[in-house]
Every structure is written in C-alpha cells, then in structure tokens.
C-alpha cells in the first residue's frame, strides 16, 4: 500500500478522534436547543469544568499513591460527570429559568454572561496558566511500512472511540426506550402540550441540561488526557467548534450532532494534514458560514414545519 | 364538578374573559359555543391554568385550582384535547398514548386502559407503530382523544374536535363523545359546529367578546331565535 494511503488513514483517525469529542459536546447544544430553542453559550465552559474536575481527581488519586489505571479512569469519569452535571443543572436554574417565557434574546445574553463568569471563576481559582495533566496512557499501535510513513493509533485514541461509542449508546437507549426519554422527545416537539398532560416540564428541561453536561464532562476527561494540558480558556474554542458541529448536522437533531461532529473533525484533520494546520479553524468556521447561508437546517435537521 | 365564579383573564393588557360564571355537573355534556375569537379557547386554557385567572375562582370538585400550575391541575382527573390536536408528530401512536398515561403507575390498569382506547378507536391499533404525524386529520383527532383518555380523566375538555374534518368523521367523533358519557366521563365541549354540539349537550353556554351571554339546556338553545340566527345559520 502506498504511503499516501497511510498518510490519509492517519488524518482520518485523528479527525474521528477529535470529531467524536465534538459530537459529545454538540449533543448538549442540540438537546437544549431542541427543547427550549436556546443556544446555551455557556456549554463550552461546562466542558472546561469537566476537564478541571478530571484533573483534580487524577492528580488527587496520583498524590494519594493509587496506581490502578482502571480505578483512576473510572473515578475520573464518575466524579467529573457528577460535578459537571451539578454545574449544568445549576446554570439552568440560576441563569435561564428565571428568564423563561420572555424575549428569546435575554437568555442568550444571560448565557454569554454565564460563560464569561465561569471562565473567570476558574481563572481566579486555578490561575490562567496551562496545567499539565498526569500522563496515564501512552503508546499505541503502529501500522505501516518499516521505512516511510507509519500510521499511529494511540491507546488514548482507542479509549476515546470506545468511551464515545458507549456514551452514545447509553444516550440512544435512554432517549428511545425510557419513559423520561420519551418525555424529552415529546417536550422537544411541544412543550406546552406536555405541560397540558401534567408533565413537569421544568424537570424535563433540567434533565436535558444534566445530560448535556454529563456528555460534555466525558469529552472533558477524554480531551484533557489526549492533549495533556488544560487551561480556563479551552472551553471557548471547543464550545464554538461543537456549536458548529451541531449546526452542521442540523440543530435539534441528536444523530445530526454526532454526524456534524465527525464531519467537522475529519474536515479539520484533512485541512491540517494536506494544507496547513493554521488554517483548520478558518475552514471549520468557513463551513459554519456556508451551512448557515445555504442550508440553515443542517444535514439532518428538519425545516420548521407550520403546525396545522 | 367544575365551577367558575366571576372568572376574568388577561393576555398582557388585553382582557380576554369578563366575569365568567360556569357550572359543569357530574356526568353532563356541556357545550360552549361562540364565534371565532369570542374567547372559547381562552376560557378552556384559563381553567387549565394558562393564562392564570386574573380574578375569580375556579373550583374542581370543590377544590380551588386557579392558583395551581398547569401541570398540577392537569394531574388531577382532568384531561384536554386541545385546539389543533397537538399530537406529538414524531412520536409513534403508541408513544403518544403512553405520554397521555404518563402518571399511571399501575401496569395492569395501564394495559387495561390502553385496550379500552384501542377498542374505542380501532384505527389507532392498526397504526400503533406508525409516526403520528403521518396520519390523516381524523386519525390524529382520534389519537388526541385517546391520549387524553389515557390519563383516566373524569372531566374531559374538547376544543373544536370537529374542526377541519370530513362530515363522516365528525359523526364518528360525536358518537364517541356520546359513548364517553355512558362511561361516566363529564365532557365540556367547545365547538363552532353548534348544531351538532347542542344536540348532544345537556346544557350550553354562549360566549361573545369574552362574556357569557346566554345559558340554557341544549334543546332550548337549539330552538332559541337569536342562537339560530347567529350560530346555526338561520
């Protein structure tokens, strides 16, 4: 097989890795939009908090002398999910719920304020410098010719694929099979009608925020370990990228968020691999402009249907 | 069973209901008729707590409900088939029915109720796994009624159940309302199709510009000169 093929394969692997974490974050945007029609611009910061929570758990356990990798990973995921979900729930409760029912612009402004607040809260509490994550998982498989370009599939990448796949499966099962998942879908279609059936829609909205935050936490744990550094500003760019992914796939659609995330990740990796990594953000946001201009409902999004 | 005492309601600055007094007794079918924009839907929605009554009292079986939230009110034995049906189009027929019976925890009772709904509306059983949005208007109306019945209501609100449907379907819908009475469900019916509604009703109210202007038995309203002129086409 030719060198070009291995090089291409490497870009795809890198793209899918990043893309699956975009997808995890994008689900939070898309579910919240689906149910209350609002873009939660503080969602990127929720992901950043997930990263910090992972750091504290891993660093803490390492300091206490734990050396079981499985235990550390489980603890990092569990605690980060719990802490980040608590943030997601509180953000909705404090910054959005009191504003519901009014002008749609007001919660949007509140979301931007919440984003600035969280970023600076972490900056003041933890400092603005990069923090190095304890490196737990290194190495990987190398495929390819002895001389020339080799494809590297790191163990960390494999963990990202597996954990993302498990998270998506759990979410899909919850949304399609469980009673609460059914209520989430019903609320996304007609919140007022769900209310007329006696359903406490505030509770369903809270659950949506918690699910979004939990998935962002998973992405936070994975990406912080993948990149090895965290800082208080990483939520901004990741949030914008995931938002792009959600719009690309069709905002409001969960499969759309996954598809959009993967497409965006692959596009970025291809740009970086064949063109210049400096331009990957340009291409990503150029894609956002293109989608907004020419296909505003995204790939899997449904056009707003006039209700008869 | 249901009593409105001097109820007023506002949408923002605009007063939509003025001093409305209505009583619905147990086992009755009561109609509310009126022109477009007279406040029929507003009246129903005010009982459901959205918008809240700005004045007066609403009692359900003697208990004041006008200060409670919509979800609290609708968890009592009250159900609504709202204007425009508002089924969940992307959910299947079965899932729509399950949303109706969301708070029914007893599995056996739930299954029994589901069976009953399917026997009342056999079409829904045929289309159990179909997405609700792909069905015809009449089928969607039946689904909206089935969904309301799944919460085991003792008081059922129907908002224009005949709107936009073919005459033969309308007849079926009214036959089913008759059957609901036999099952002991109290029905409060809002209709533009005054003729058919009044023939079925024990009593009726006429609403104009947010005020109740007339109240009588269904039979009397049918023969009332003014009602005939205004709502029954002369």
Give residues 30 to 69 of B whose Cβ lies within 8 Å of A. 48, 50
What's the whole-number mean pLDDT along residues B54-60? 94
Which site among B50, B72, B79, B86 would you substitute to test the A interface, given the most A Cβ atoms closer than 10 Å to its Cβ?
Answer: B86
Q: Which residues lie closer than 8 Å to A98 by C-beta, 6 or more apart?
A: none
Residue B188, beta-bridge partner list? B30, B157
Cis peptide before B51 (omega within 30 of 0): yes
Q: Which pLDDT value is given to residue A103?
A: 86
Q: Quick one: tokens of B218?
A: 């269904």
CB-CB under 8 Å, B80 with A196: yes
Q: Which pLDDT value is given to residue A306?
A: 41
Structure letter (DSSP) for residue A307: P
Domains of chain A by start residue, with CATH:
3-294 (1.10.3470)
A167-201 burial, b for 16+ CB within 10 Å, e for fewer? bbeebeeebeeeeebbbbbbbbbbbebbbbbbbbb
Per-residue confidence band for B8, with pLDDT thresholds at 50, 70 and 90: very high
Cβ contacts below 8 Å, chain A against chain B, sum to: 63
Per-residue confidence band for B234, with pLDDT thresholds at 50, 70 and 90: low
| Statement: residue B232 has pLDDT above 80 | no
Chain A hits for B98, CB-CB cut-off 8 Å, are 179, 182
Residue B191, beta-bridge partner list? B33
Return the number of other C-beta atoms located less than 10 Å from residue B118's C-beta: 18
Q: Which pLDDT value is given to residue B61?
A: 93
Q: Answer whether A42's CB lies under 8 Å from A115's CB.
A: yes
Q: Answer whether B66's CB lies under 8 Å from B7's CB.
A: yes
CB-CB under 8 Å, B88 with A193: yes
The pLDDT tens digits of the residues spanning B114-141 come to 999 999 999 999 999 999 999 999 999 9
Q: Answer whether B82's CB lies under 8 Å from A196's CB.
A: yes
Q: Is B56 helix (H, G, I), strand (E, B) or coil?
A: strand
The structural architecture, per CATH, of the domain B2-77+154-231 is 3-Layer(aba) Sandwich (3.40)
Rounded to the nearest angstrom, the minimum Cα separation between B156 and chain A is 12
- Residue extents of the structural domains in chain B: 2-77+154-231, 89-151
Residue B55, beta-bridge partner list? B8
CB-CB under 8 Å, B90 with A196: no
Q: Which pLDDT value is given to residue A1?
A: 63
Q: Which residue of A has its CA nearest to B101?
A: A197
The pLDDT tens digits of the residues spanning B164-215 come to 899 999 999 999 999 999 999 999 999 888 888 999 999 999 999 999 999 9
CB-CB under 8 Å, B151 with A198: yes
Q: Which pLDDT value is given to residue B78?
A: 95
Chain B hits for A255, CB-CB cut-off 8 Å, are none
Of B86, B95, B103, Cβ closest to residue A198:
B103
The three-point CA angle B124-B130-B132 to 5° equals 75
Chain B hits for A198, CB-CB cut-off 8 Å, are 71-72, 74-75, 102-103, 151
Q: Quick one: tokens of A242?
A: 């995931």
The pLDDT tens digits of the residues spanning B138-155 come to 999 999 999 999 999 999
**pTM, 2 dp:** 0.91
Give residues 192 to 231 of B whose Cβ lies within 8 Å of A. none
What average pLDDT values come out for chain A (308 residues) when binned by 10 residues?
86 95 96 92 96 94 87 94 97 94 89 96 93 85 80 93 95 94 94 94 96 97 94 94 94 92 96 92 93 89 54
Cα torsion A192, A190, B72, B116: sign = positive
């Amino acid at each position: 097989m030719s060198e070009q093929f291995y090089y291409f394969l490497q870009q795809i692997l890198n793209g899918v890795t990043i893309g699956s974490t975009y997808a995890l974050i994008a689900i939070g945007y898309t579910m919240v939009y689906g149910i209350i029609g609002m873009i939660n611009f503080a969602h990127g910061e929720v992901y950043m908090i997930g990263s910090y929570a992972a750091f504290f758990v891993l660093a803490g356990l390492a300091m206490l002398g734990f050396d079981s990798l499985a235990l550390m990973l489980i603890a990092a995921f569990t605690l980060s999910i719990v802490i980040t979900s608590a943030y997601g729930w509180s953000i909705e409760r404090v910054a959005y719920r009191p504003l519901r029912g009014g002008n749609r612009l007001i919660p949007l402004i509140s979301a931007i304020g919440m984003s600035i607040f969280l970023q600076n809260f972490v900056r003041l509490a933890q400092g603005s410098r990069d923090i190095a994550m304890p490196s737990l998982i290194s190495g990987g498989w190398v495929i390819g010719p002895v001389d020339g370009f080799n494809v590297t599939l790191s163990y960390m990448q494999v963990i990202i694929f597996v954990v993302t796949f498990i998270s998506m499966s759990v979410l899909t099962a919850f949304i399609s099979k469980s009673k609460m998942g059914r209520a989430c879908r019903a609320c996304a279609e007609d919140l007022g009608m769900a209310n007329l059936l006696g359903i406490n829609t505030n509770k369903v909205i809270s659950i949506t925020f918690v699910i979004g935050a939990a998935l962002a936490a998973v992405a936070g744990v994975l990406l912080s370990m993948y990149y090895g550094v965290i800082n208080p500003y990483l939520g901004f760019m990741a949030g914008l990228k995931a938002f792009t992914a959600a719009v690309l796939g069709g905002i409001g659609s969960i499969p759309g968020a996954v598809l959009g995330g993967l497409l965006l990740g692959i596009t970025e990796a291809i740009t970086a691999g064949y063109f210049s990594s400096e331009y990957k953000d340009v291409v990503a946001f150029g894609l956002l402009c293109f989608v907004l201009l020419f296909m505003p409902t995204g790939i899997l999004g449904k056009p707003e249907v006039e209700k008869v | 069973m249901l009593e409105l005492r001097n109820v007023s309601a506002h949408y923002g600055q605009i007063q939509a209901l003025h001093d409305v007094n209505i009583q619905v007794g147990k086992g009755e079918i009561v109609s509310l008729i009126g022109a477009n924009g007279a406040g029929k839907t507003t009246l129903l929605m005010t009982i459901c707590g959205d918008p809240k009554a700005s004045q007066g009292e609403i009692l359900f079986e003697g208990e004041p409900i006008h200060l409670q939230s919509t979800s609290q009110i609708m968890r009592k034995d009250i159900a609504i088939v709202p204007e425009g049906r508002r089924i969940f189009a992307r959910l299947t027929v079965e899932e729509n029915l399950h949303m109706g019976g969301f708070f029914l925890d007893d599995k056996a009772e739930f299954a029994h109720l589901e069976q009953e709904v399917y026997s009342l509306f056999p079409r829904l059983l045929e289309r159990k796994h179909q997405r609700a949005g792909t069905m015809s208007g009449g089928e969607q109306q039946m689904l909206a009624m089935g969904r309301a019945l799944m919460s085991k209501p003792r008081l059922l609100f129907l908002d224009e159940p005949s709107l936009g449907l073919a005459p033969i379907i309308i007849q079926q819908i009214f036959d089913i309302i008759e059957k609901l009475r036999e099952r002991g469900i109290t029905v409060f019916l809002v209709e533009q199709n005054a003729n058919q509604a009044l023939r079925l009703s024990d009593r009726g109210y006429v609403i104009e510009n947010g005020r109740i202007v007339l109240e009588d038995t269904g039979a009397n309203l049918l023969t009332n000169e003014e009602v005939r002129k205004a709502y029954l086409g002369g």
